[in-house]
Amino acid sequence: MSNKSTRITALSSLFITVLLIAGCAPPTAKIKVSRQEVKAGDPVTVSWETKNAKTIEVNGEKVEKIGGKTMTPAKTTTYEVVAKRGKKEARDRAEVTVTVVRPPMPTVSLKADPSNIDLGKNTTLRWESANATTLTITGLGEVPASGSREVSPRVSTTYTANAIGAGGNATASTRVTVTDPPPPPVAERPRVTQPTEPPIAEQFRAILKSVFFDYDKSDISASDQEQLRRAADWLNLERNRSITFRVEGNCDPRGTAEY
């Protein structure tokens, strides 16, 4: 019986020694990440494992001895596990580098067809944009990302498209030149052709013809007197007062030579 008691006592002492050794062992901690480089918004799994610790924290949050958690870091982050037992502690770190991807810049184009119009006529504005959440055009307000619209400006106008998106903003402009229509053509008056007057000498001869006396008399007949009055009236016209002429009396060729 003494030998058996001795063996039991020895085993008990060994067990107590093992417990004492275990209780005195320092804590250990390990942490790792599923990916060390990610883009902003991408998830990453953080996992850890500890031993011989009473309290465990990951970035200040109490956790179990062994575990894992999915994180979505917005920027480069260091994850740290701290395992403590009394005054003893163990630490381990794992870093995730986060690449911030800038959203693409918006693009926009705007044109007028035609760009020159007469007052009262229409032109068509056409536009296209990409990577924009809001698109506005002066005079039209907010419009779809792409489209067209007929406009009829009364004066020359510059239209500007403003595209706004997560990556910034972009603008594009086009100018419509408005001109007054030409006046209607003036109807040409018919040209009146003035009759061409014959030379003054011919007119004179036509107005003042020879005046004859009656046979064996010095009287002027009544018909010839009327002719002379017409000639006097014609010569007294303003345009004819510069005419120079000579009055002559001659024998006429009528009758025989002896007469």
Pairing of strands 168-179, 116-118: parallel
The pLDDT of residue 8 is 57
Residue 192 pLDDT greater than 90, yes or no: no
Over residues 48-58, mean pLDDT:
94
Q: How far apart are CA 177 and CA 179, in angstroms?
A: 7
- Complete DSSP assignment for the chain: -HHHHHHHHHHHHHHHHHHHHHHHSPPEEEEEES-SEEETT--EEEEEEEES-SEEEETTEE--SEEEEEE--SS-EEEEEEEEETTEEEEEEEEEEEEPPPPPPPEEEEEEESSEEETT--EEEEEEEES-SEEEETTTEE--SEEEEEE--SS-EEEEEEEEETTEEEEEEEEEEEEPPPPPPPPPPPPP-PPPPPPHHHHHHHHS----BPTT--PBPHHHHHHHHHHHHHHTSGGGTT----------S-S-S--
* The most confident of 100-104, 165-169, 171-175, 179-183, by mean pLDDT: 171-175
The pLDDT of residue 4 is 58
Instruction: Round the average pLDDT of the chain to a whole number and report it.
Output: 85
For the beta carbon of residue 189, count every other beta carbon within 10 angstroms.
6
Over residues 129-135, mean pLDDT:
94
Higher-confidence residue: 213 or 233?
233
Quote the pTM value.
0.44
Q: How far apart are CA 61 and CA 156, in angstroms?
A: 67
The pLDDT of residue 203 is 80
The pLDDT of residue 23 is 56
Sign of CA dihedral 188, 190, 191, 192: negative
Which of 1-5, 56-60, 66-70 comes out lowest in average pLDDT?
Answer: 1-5
Percent of the chain at pLDDT > 70 equals 89
| Number of residues that this document lists for the chain | 259
Q: How far apart are CA 222 and CA 215, in angstroms?
A: 15
The pLDDT of residue 236 is 87
Q: How far apart are CA 127 and CA 109, in angstroms?
A: 5
Buried/exposed code over 17-34 (b: 16+ C-beta within 10 A; e: otherwise): eeeeeeeeeebebebebe
